[in-house]
Amino acid sequence: MRKVITGNSASAYGAKVSRAEVIAAYPITPQTSIVEKIADFVANKEMDAKFIKVESEHSAMAACISASMAGARTYTATSSHGLLLMHEMLIWASGSRAPVVMSNVNRANGPPWSVWADQHDTMAQRDTGWMQFYCESNQEVLDTIIQAYRVGEQRDIMTPSIIIEDAFVLSHTAEPVDIPDIGVVDKFLPPFDPPSKVIPGEPYGYGSLVMPDLYMDFRYKIAESMDLARDRLRQVDRDFQKHFGRSYGGLVEFYECEGADAVILTAGTAASTAKDVVDKMRREGKKVGVARMRVFRPFPYEEVRKLAKMAGAIGVLDRSYCFGYAGPIACEVMGALYNISDRPPIRSYIAGLGGRDITPEVLERLFDEILAFKGKGSGEEVKWVDLKGLEGL
């Protein structure tokens, strides 16, 4: 069924066609219409699920973890400060090996208060042991939820996922989305069948104390699963193509990157705008390209190294900032390239914080800058783009 829907609606449909069985959510700001739509589905009996209203995002995640450990497919949604409040429970989810799937609307963190697009909320969860997917379209938002369940619930993976949409650019913007038939999804996504389930009346110890002789080994097993997931995600995206006729380039989507003099590497919807700019500049004879980092965790270091061989110079555009050095994606990209020879020069660009538009004009200027430092070294390593003083108001 094809409908014109927002990214939030696409998220709700993603949970519905994936047959999520338990949804726990805190309904107040910064919550979005995602869980409102799911509450409608459940109330109208269009979705056979338990909707648990809780008193905070911390509790929402705790409820999802418990339900997941009891063998239910679980889903929740949040945004910015709600995600930050969940932080402790995010680590508990990955440690419990509870493959919860959550949607997050990327919004800026306050103060100053904001509700607009900014990736600082999810980037701050980098080390929680969750897989992170940055989407470019409402269709991808829906499809990635299905993909995340399929990979996350595999018994040697058992890892939770965050599916991310830029605030307003996707969350509140309607575009045509194909909502797959639930029977078709059933053939792609088997029921959740964890190796161990909580059984009432049989008390076991869940996540209880371990001594230093075992703790590290449990953490290593999470690391191992994350590494396995890298290739599993590439494979599932290919299978998705065969099953649904759509795919998203695996972990990193390359757009006109082969032999490009300048490439912008970014995550989220800025990549869409950048592709249009690439088309325009290519017509003018400038060899530019875009690499869209779709999966940030597990980190796609092989794709990043491949890009380094394809591109003359790279600008990494982050919609967030690690205070004290550079953009979080840029830090990781530079780290992944340190041990290879013939690295292209790289500059970290910080743009679009708190919903400031990343316009085609801004991106064209960045491409010209990157073209100019190709073969020379980036000089200024970190650059904040489009800053405005009072004269800009």
Residue numbers of the site for other proteins (CB under 8 A)? 95-97, 155-156, 158, 194-196, 203-208, 210-211, 213-214, 217-218, 220-221, 225
Shortest approach of other proteins to residue 155 CB, angstroms? 8
Shortest approach of other proteins to residue 66 CB, angstroms? 13
Shortest approach of other proteins to residue 150 CB, angstroms? 18
Q: Are 188 and 239 in contact (CB under 8 A)?
A: yes
95: three-class secondary structure by DSSP: helix
Q: Are 109 and 84 in contact (CB under 8 A)?
A: yes
**What type of residue sits at position 205?**
G
Closest CB to other proteins among 100 and 270? 100
**What type of residue sits at position 107?**
R
What CA–CA distance (Å, rounded) separates 137 from 152?
A: 22
Closest CB to other proteins among 95 and 345? 95
Shortest approach of other proteins to residue 179 CB, angstroms? 33
Closest CB to other proteins among 96 and 122? 96
Nearest C-alpha neighbor of 313 from the set 339, 340, 342, 336? 342
Shortest approach of other proteins to residue 202 CB, angstroms? 9
191: three-class secondary structure by DSSP: coil
Shortest approach of other proteins to residue 65 CB, angstroms? 12
Closest CB to other proteins among 97 and 275? 97
Closest CB to other proteins among 194 and 312? 194
For β-strands 295-297 and 50-53, DSSP reports them as: unpaired
Q: Is 373 left (phi over 0), alpha (psi -120 to 50) or beta?
A: alpha
Closest CB to other proteins among 203 and 324? 203
Q: Are 314 and 345 in contact (CB under 8 A)?
A: yes
Nearest C-alpha neighbor of 193 from the set 160, 159, 151, 155? 155
Closest CB to other proteins among 224 and 258? 224
What CA–CA distance (Å, rounded) separates 45 from 302?
A: 45
Which phi and psi (to 5°) does residue 384 adopt?
-85, 125
As a dihedral over the C-alpha atoms of residue 133, residue 299, residue 364, residue 385, rounded to 10 degrees, the angle is 90
DSSP 352: -
What CA–CA distance (Å, rounded) separates 110 from 355?
A: 13
Closest CB to other proteins among 196 and 235? 196
Shortest approach of other proteins to residue 161 CB, angstroms? 17
Closest CB to other proteins among 68 and 79? 68
Shortest approach of other proteins to residue 219 CB, angstroms? 9
What CA–CA distance (Å, rounded) separates 268 from 167?
A: 10
Which phi and psi (to 5°) does residue 190 adopt?
-70, 160
Shortest approach of other proteins to residue 205 CB, angstroms? 4
